[in-house]
Structure 1
């Protein structure tokens, strides 16, 4: 196990001169003593392992992965159970990806069962509505009071909205690749009809949310054609694939020249964070295969691209008319 641990530390080391010197400095021991530990002639103590883990910024849970190739360790985020918790979730997400804006080759690959978070965090009715829905699912007290979206929107904390918008702005500085299907927007439209029919969203506001969804799709189409994130001075790429073969999952993979990490959702706004190298490689390979079996809409031809976006706009219009007429939806 120590041999695998030392190899892992060497890969994490940024010392361009001597790994032995770096290890000796961290453990406050001599060069020869550090050399003996690296060459397995002396065992690392638990205290020394903790010091090394802190220095190289790795979790000691990684030791479990190193010694048990058939098991992996995942990280869980805090569950946002109220407005303050949701604000902290946005801020924590911001810190998790802030450093990626400094890496030109960093890329997000998103498997979009639903509209990706990247598109939702703006100063809009849609953003406020999505936060309302998340909190309705997570906050038992809010669910019991049956507060409507129209009423909740009047008392939304400014700091909560600002933290959401700040995270949305950050995503504009990263290369984005997304996979969508014909049903990527359907879940959001279903959800809107549900809350409208339950009397928790007024007709006027529901129609404004439809308008916001329309704007998101129109903006996404422009980014798809331009192959870039719009409204930014940086040249960050945007690629959209239409996937017909596989079921999409709302999974996010972050790819940098040094590391791959992916996030797998399992409840509302909660996810498993996976850094296990071999598992990340498998996930990355799977996403690449999905792309190879999908249509890159910028090269698929104007007809295919136009049909795809027109179909989504048509679903939004049917939802809009359903809200106006209060009849049954027919597009599902």
Structure 2
């Protein structure tokens, strides 16, 4: 097994330096110790194997078929606890998406428990509000203090906003299929309600955020009818399914003709990335089954489509009226 692994590393190694020297540097060990491991006189331990696999970007799942034992390796995203880490998250996401924008075969399938991230990354109040909520839920200092959104909005770094807007625009060039239900919008409405009732969100800004949410719903409805991403320069396709049978999960499946990967959220923004292809195939089949049990809204008729979007508009208007009257009740 070690010989297979070492041979695979050699294929990935830089031609500019000695392979032994490269391994010694990665593992922070001496030249002789690296030589013994390469020639299998000393066994690699698990920590060393993982370090080498990460450096050379090798999937241990694929190499050793770990999945056949019902065990797979996942990649955990970095922890996000402050504005700098959030900006790095946006930057890394852009870097990961750009190669997909150049592939016609690339597509994203999104099980939308909440409004997908990219719709809230525009020059709007709701973008700034989402950043506030994300940091309020993940940053220990912000969780403790009583900083309001009205105060926070004045302090958001321009570089953070620029990366957020850039990430939102990057999604315009990828084919997207989404699964929504009547509750997809509820999470955002509940966040507005919570911080407004906590007196951390003013009436004026709460109403502005609601208006931005209305714009998002209108944007999605237009995309649904046209079956294409608005503002896309490469005619990226868009399909929206209404799924009443299953509860949404915010799982994202990314597909190309060559590879698949899916992302499972476990906190507000952090996620687990799965690239084990047999497991990705299972997830792909699950999405296909979900399509057969859902309504593709462009084909379901104008009545069903109008009812679906009007229900969201009514929820937003109800919240706006309650905020205006200082009388928050059940939004359903």
Q: TM-score range by the shorter chain?
A: 0.7 to 0.9
Tell whether the 8 Å contact from 2:319 to 2:328 is kept in structure 1 after alignment: no
Q: Aligned-residue CA RMSD in angstroms?
A: 3.0
How far did residue 64 of structure 1 move? Answer: 5.8
What corresponds to 2:72 in structure 1? 72
What corresponds to 1:118 in structure 2? 118
TM-score, normalised by the number of residues in structure 2: 0.85
In structure 2, distance between residues paired with 1:72 and 1:51: 17
Unpaired segments of 5 or more residues in structure 1? 10-20, 29-42
Tell whether the 8 Å contact from 1:252 to 1:262 is kept in structure 2 after alignment: yes
How far did residue 65 of structure 1 move? Answer: 4.6
In structure 1, distance between residues paired with 2:94 and 2:115: 19
Q: 1:91 to 1:69 in 2, by over 3 A?
A: same
Tell whether the 8 Å contact from 2:12 to 2:56 is kept in structure 1 after alignment: no
Q: Which moved more, 1:52-61 or 1:66-75?
A: 52-61
Q: 1:329 to 1:57 in 2, by over 3 A?
A: same
In structure 1, distance between residues paired with 2:83 and 2:113: 25
In structure 2, distance between residues paired with 1:226 and 1:96: 27
What corresponds to 1:245 in structure 2? 245
What is the number of residues matched between the two proteins? Answer: 308
In structure 1, distance between residues paired with 2:204 and 2:52: 59
What corresponds to 1:106 in structure 2? 106
What corresponds to 1:128 in structure 2? 128
How far did residue 95 of structure 1 move? Answer: 1.2
Q: CA deviation digits over 1:287-315, x for unaligned, max 9?
A: 11111100000111111001100011000
SS of the counterpart of 1:263?
strand
How far did residue 69 of structure 1 move? Answer: 2.8
Q: 1:24 to 1:126 in 2, by over 3 A?
A: closer
How far did residue 57 of structure 1 move? Answer: 3.2
Unpaired segments of 5 or more residues in structure 2? 20-37
In structure 1, distance between residues paired with 2:202 and 2:12: 63
SS of the counterpart of 2:209?
helix
Tell whether the 8 Å contact from 1:75 to 1:274 is kept in structure 2 after alignment: yes
